[in-house]
Amino acid sequence: MLKKDVLVIGGGMIVHDQILPSLYHLQRIGEIGKISICARHTTPLKSLMNSPSIKESFPGQFFISFPPLDTPEDKYFPELYKEAIKTLAPRQCVFIALPDYLHYPAIMEAFNHDQHVICVKPLVQTYKQLAEIEEISKKKRLFVGVEYHKRFDIRSLLARKNYRDGLFGEFIIGEAKMIEPYYYRHSNFQNWFTCDISDPFTYVGCHYVDIVTFITGLKPVGVSVVGIKKSFPNGNVGYMWSHGRVFYENGGILSVINGLGYPDMGGGSNQQGLELYFENKDCTSVLRHDDQFRGVSYSISEEKTEIRKNFYTINTDYFRLVPWNGPGLKPVGYGYTSIEELIKCVKKIDNIEDDRTRLEEIEKIDNLGIIATPKNSYYNELICECARRSILEDGKPYYIDYANYTLSSR
Ligand SMILES: NC(=O)c1ccc[n+]([C@@H]2O[C@H](COP(=O)([O-])OP(=O)(O)OC[C@H]3O[C@@H](n4cnc5c(N)ncnc54)[C@H](O)[C@@H]3O)[C@@H](O)[C@H]2O)c1
């Protein structure tokens, strides 16, 4: 199969923690070609290039930097990604890891230069943008995949199988939570995670909205979200906490709490989990996923915050770099699997010569529903659009009309 070159746009936390190590490994095992990364300025690129954990894991590997690393750090190039895309041959892969509101223009730019797209979640901020992306991608036979990595957690896949085999019955009520660390407030988040742009529900709550539909196949039809505002260290105001109530097409309800506020002193890297109840044949069923205690805890300085904790619960499931039968360290976990599967899709489509069969292959991926694509995960855009309106209107519920793909506050 042809190797694809990959251009990552954005050089922040998710690139450091998951995307670059995954791509370096795929490069090392011969699955992809050159890797380049474009950020607005060189500061994050230098951090990536000099990251001790990345250097230790991938000795001798490097990426092409836009702008070049010797560019002064105070020089900003918000439009440079357009030039970086032009350096790719047609039908390579653009991996978008920008703040949410920049996904759409970057995807359009990638399409203008015939590039496949992998994008961190959420793909875009409106259903209208998503529909346009789907249409262009199909016309050009380009793959678009959304990196919803929780889908590749074995527990999600097993729950999907068991639900669809009828073992649980029908989802009726549940609760999900994902509280990200307090120290995020000191990161680049303070520059873009403002009330007008994002909130914890659309940032991380969307993972569980996606997962509940991934498991059950039930579409969300409405949501009410309330938020609590606090100031970032730089004075910008953001919603630091949110509570959402999601309504499903069968009358089911999911309560979702989110925040940027898991204590830095706390025993985990964040707090997350899911509990779902089901109506079954003359009984009920339950699925409980405590995603905090994974059976391993350490008493060492916590890796990221360097704060000394008595016990620190280790997440061995999402993403870890571990020794393997090769140089450096190897990425493992569903964060890696998700990227590996997305890259496989890009290659699979372009391994087909015939235009119609290429389209059929893209549609096959849509229909299987394991990889999130615009066609099979559009409910996420609709629910996030409702959520944004709702939180800005203090929790007024918004509903989706799936016949017309419109929203209302009926
Ligand atoms: N669990 C998940 O799936 C998950 C987790 C974290 C982040 N994300 C998503 O990843 C995206 C980025 O999040 P992050 O945490 O890495 O944010 P971040 O703020 O750490 O990084 C954003 C990066 O984008 C770069 N950037 C901004 N404007 C740019 C421009 N015009 N051109 C080039 N680069 C530009 C910045 O330099 C920075 O490197 C968001 O969409 C977020 O929702 C997903």
Residues 6+ apart with CB under 8 A from 95: 6, 7, 8, 9, 19, 23, 117, 118, 119
Mean pLDDT of the chain: 95
- Taking a C-beta distance cutoff of 8 angstroms, is the pair 131, 152 a contact? no
If you average pLDDT over residues 243-247, what whole number do you get?
98
Give the rounded percent of residues in the chain with a pLDDT score beyond 90. Answer: 89
- Asked if residue 59 has a cis previous peptide bond (ω within 30° of 0), the answer is no
Indicate the length of the chain as a whole number: 410
Indicate the pLDDT class of residue 294, thresholds 50, 70 and 90.
confident
- The amino acid at 166: G
pLDDT score for 53: 95
- The amino acid at 38: C
CB atoms within 10 A of CB 367: 10
**Ligand 1 site-directed mutation target among 109, 120, 203, 338, most atoms within 8 Å of CB:** 120
pLDDT score for 236: 98
Of the candidate CATH numbers 3.40.50.2300, 3.50.50.60, 3.40.50.2020, 3.40.50.720, the domain formed by 4-150+327-373 belongs to: 3.40.50.720
List, in sequence order, every residue forming a beta bridge with 144; answer none if it has no partner.
Answer: 117
The rounded distance, in Å, linking the Cα atoms of 326 and 28 is 10
- Taking a C-beta distance cutoff of 8 angstroms, is the pair 276, 255 a contact? no
- CATH 3.40.50.720 residue ranges of the chain are 4-150+327-373
Q: Encoding tokens for residue 308?
A: 């000394």
**Ligand 1 site-directed mutation target among 98, 192, 272, 338, most atoms within 8 Å of CB:** 98
Q: Which atom of ligand 1 is nearest to the CA of 78?
A: 31
Helices (H), 8-100: 13-14, 20-28, 42-50, 52-57, 80-86
- Asked if residue 220 has a cis previous peptide bond (ω within 30° of 0), the answer is no
pLDDT at 74 over 80: yes
pLDDT score for 227: 98
Indicate the pLDDT class of residue 314, thresholds 50, 70 and 90.
confident
Indicate the pLDDT class of residue 292, thresholds 50, 70 and 90.
confident
- CATH 3.30.360.10 residue ranges of the chain are 154-314+381-408
**Ligand 1 proximal residues by C-beta, below 6 Å:** 9-15, 38-40, 44, 78, 81, 97-100, 102, 120-121, 188, 203
Residue 119 dihedral angles phi and psi, to the nearest 5°: -135, 140
The rounded distance, in Å, linking the Cα atoms of 139 and 335 is 30
If you average pLDDT over residues 63-74, what whole number do you get?
98
- Give tens-digit pLDDT for 126-156: 999 999 999 999 999 999 999 999 999 999 9
Is this structure's pTM higher than 0.85? yes
Q: What is the H or E stretch that residue 146 is in? A: strand 144-147
Q: Which atom of ligand 1 is nearest to the CA of 100?
A: 41
- CATH number 3.10.20.740 is the correct assignment for the domain at 154-314+381-408: no
In a 3-state reduction of DSSP, which class is residue 69?
Answer: coil
